[in-house]
Structure 1
Amino acid sequence: MLQHDVSDLTACPERAVSLPRDAALDLIKWLAMLSMVLDHLRHVWFETAFLYVPGRLAFPFFCLAIAVNVARPVVPGHSPLRVRYLGWLLAFAVLSEFPYRLLVEWPGSLNVLPTLALGMLIANAMARPGRLDRGLGLAALLLAAWLHEDLMFGLFGAVLPAAFLLALRGEGWKLLPGVICLAANYWWEIYARAWALQPFAWLVIATCFVAPFIGLWLLRHPPRFPVPPMRRWAYLLYPGHFLALWGLREWLVR
């Protein structure tokens, strides 16, 4: 990914393949992780419900990272489908479900990784013309629609990476990620509170809408400070933070 101009991904694929790591993208991943941990602290200290607001940044930031990776030019000799990427998402989707249910005792959905895996396939189908890519993308879209009630962020969450991909292409879809993110975060109780003019509810709704644009802005404005690269070991942070927070909660209630 070019650090100063996302559109260069398609304009100069040879250059993009040889570029070093993108500090802006690594920053977005770190912020997504931090936001996720802050959000899940609500399951340790219930008085920290206000952390639900910064927690709304995590999912759109992860979806943006997926869109950027899908938009990268295919390295010669490699499969257009990010098989290894998909494999890591699916493997940790399975490994994370038990730790997720330890911390979230009455979950209303699966953990977030199945949604991201389906989202990657849908976005990849938009980026690649091959029959296999399009077929897998269509299958992922249909599966997301079927599993809408069981997926975290539902069908709209699964199409958010594709919405980001359109926004990155600059094809007049700039508002689409914000609208899709709002739909993915729909919760009737928040809208009922917003109708009652409760400021917290309006803050949640506003954060859901602007979070994608914060991510896109960060992507186009690389940090002027070094950012530690986030590599595959970061997958361990997902089930690991569930276990750590569960252990902390168990220790506090003794």
Structure 2
Amino acid sequence: MHGTETIPVRRVRDGALDLLKWLALLSMVLDHLRYVGLSLDGLYVPGRLAFPWFCLAIAANLQRVRGAPVTGQWRYLGWLLLFSVISEVPYRLFIEDADTLNVLPTLALGLLVARGWQQKTLFDRGLALIALLLAALFSSNLMFGFFGVLLPLAMLLVFSRPWYFSVLPGLVCVAANQWQVLLDSGNLVALLGLATCLIAPLAGRVLLRYAQGASPPAMRRWAYALYPLHFLLLLLVRQIIA
């Protein structure tokens, strides 16, 4: 081997980012436990962490690979789109009165919007514009609506800025969570849910900064399957306790 040759170094996993993803998944499962037939309305509050933390994970991934070839980001989008389709039937089996698609189409559109801002090429900007138009036209069909599609971009815009800039994605998160309905209800769970939406981006950023020494199981591509599977498992739980 010549002295000038180098051995390729495998990208070191970010343990804090894996931890964020696991906690987002846990928050989502807690939120959906409200639909198994038990009186668990209070789980709505920790459940408000799931979507903003998944959006923060998208922003963190984009930030990490901003100078790398975009092929990995295309794979990321491809997996989101694939499991958007796979997850729709389990989602509707479990959420019987669902009036939106599952959450993955929202995340896929959000990824396109955030990539368009970051990459700045005509092609990427065009895809981002198409994603924004789709989000505007079909906002009522998307979980978390138009503002949900904007949330990954809002997270990315403030990713490397001082902590107080987190109020921007916090407000976008509140807007994505039917804030008027929650505010009008006036009950404690709804108000705590709104507060959680507001502080979730900052809480996620704190976790990413101070949990660098964490070493949870790596959340790789197989983790996409956990989304449809958790609907089927909770559906089984509901059938057992019914």
TM-score under structure 1 length normalisation: 0.87
Aligned counterpart for 2:175 among listed residues 177, 183, 201: 183
- For residue 164 of structure 1, report the CA deviation from its aligned partner: 0.4
1:25 aligned residue:
17
Query: Separation in 2 of the partners of 1:127 and 1:203?
Result: 33
- For residue 73 of structure 1, report the CA deviation from its aligned partner: 3.1
Report the 3-state secondary structure (helix = DSSP H, G, I; strand = E; otherwise coil) of the residue aligned with 2:216: coil
- The answer as to whether partners of 2:174 and 2:194 remain within 8 angstroms in 1 is yes
2:61 aligned residue:
69
- For residue 248 of structure 1, report the CA deviation from its aligned partner: 1.2
Report the 3-state secondary structure (helix = DSSP H, G, I; strand = E; otherwise coil) of the residue aligned with 2:99: coil
Report the 3-state secondary structure (helix = DSSP H, G, I; strand = E; otherwise coil) of the residue aligned with 1:174: helix
- For residue 18 of structure 1, report the CA deviation from its aligned partner: 5.9
Name stretches of at least 5 consecutive residues in structure 1 with no aligned partner. 1-16
Pair 1:245-2:234 in alignment: yes
Report the 3-state secondary structure (helix = DSSP H, G, I; strand = E; otherwise coil) of the residue aligned with 2:211: coil
Q: What's the C-alpha RMSD, in Å, of the aligned pairs?
A: 1.8
Query: Separation in 1 of the partners of 2:66 and 2:161?
Result: 20
1:174 aligned residue:
166
2:153 aligned residue:
162
- The answer as to whether partners of 1:99 and 1:239 remain within 8 angstroms in 2 is yes
- For residue 200 of structure 1, report the CA deviation from its aligned partner: 2.3
1:144 aligned residue:
135
- The answer as to whether partners of 1:53 and 1:204 remain within 8 angstroms in 2 is yes
- The answer as to whether partners of 1:96 and 1:239 remain within 8 angstroms in 2 is yes
Query: Separation in 2 of the partners of 1:225 and 1:122?
Result: 30
Q: Which moved more, 1:88-97 or 1:203-212?
A: 203-212
Query: Separation in 2 of the partners of 1:81 and 1:137?
Result: 17
- For residue 79 of structure 1, report the CA deviation from its aligned partner: 3.1
TM-score under structure 2 length normalisation: 0.91
Amino acid at match of 1:68: A
Report the 3-state secondary structure (helix = DSSP H, G, I; strand = E; otherwise coil) of the residue aligned with 2:48: helix
Query: Separation in 2 of the partners of 1:173 and 1:100?
Result: 34
1:11 aligned residue:
none
Query: Separation in 2 of the partners of 1:219 and 1:79?
Result: 23
Identical positions, percent: 53
- The answer as to whether partners of 1:80 and 1:128 remain within 8 angstroms in 2 is no
Pair 1:38-2:24 in alignment: no
Query: Separation in 2 of the partners of 1:82 and 1:19?
Result: 15
Pair 1:49-2:58 in alignment: no
Report the 3-state secondary structure (helix = DSSP H, G, I; strand = E; otherwise coil) of the residue aligned with 1:113: helix
Query: Separation in 1 of the partners of 2:64 and 2:214?
Result: 24
Name stretches of at least 5 consecutive residues in structure 2 with no aligned partner. 1-8
- The answer as to whether partners of 1:115 and 1:158 remain within 8 angstroms in 2 is yes
Aligned counterpart for 1:84 among listed residues 48, 59, 75: 75
- For residue 81 of structure 1, report the CA deviation from its aligned partner: 7.2
Aligned residues: 233
Pair 1:213-2:202 in alignment: yes
1:231 aligned residue:
220
Amino acid at match of 1:231: R
Query: Separation in 2 of the partners of 1:130 and 1:224?
Result: 36
- The answer as to whether partners of 2:18 and 2:216 remain within 8 angstroms in 1 is yes
Query: Separation in 1 of the partners of 2:188 and 2:42?
Result: 12
Pair 1:126-2:121 in alignment: no
Amino acid at match of 2:109: L
Amino acid at match of 2:174: L
- The answer as to whether partners of 1:81 and 1:124 remain within 8 angstroms in 2 is no
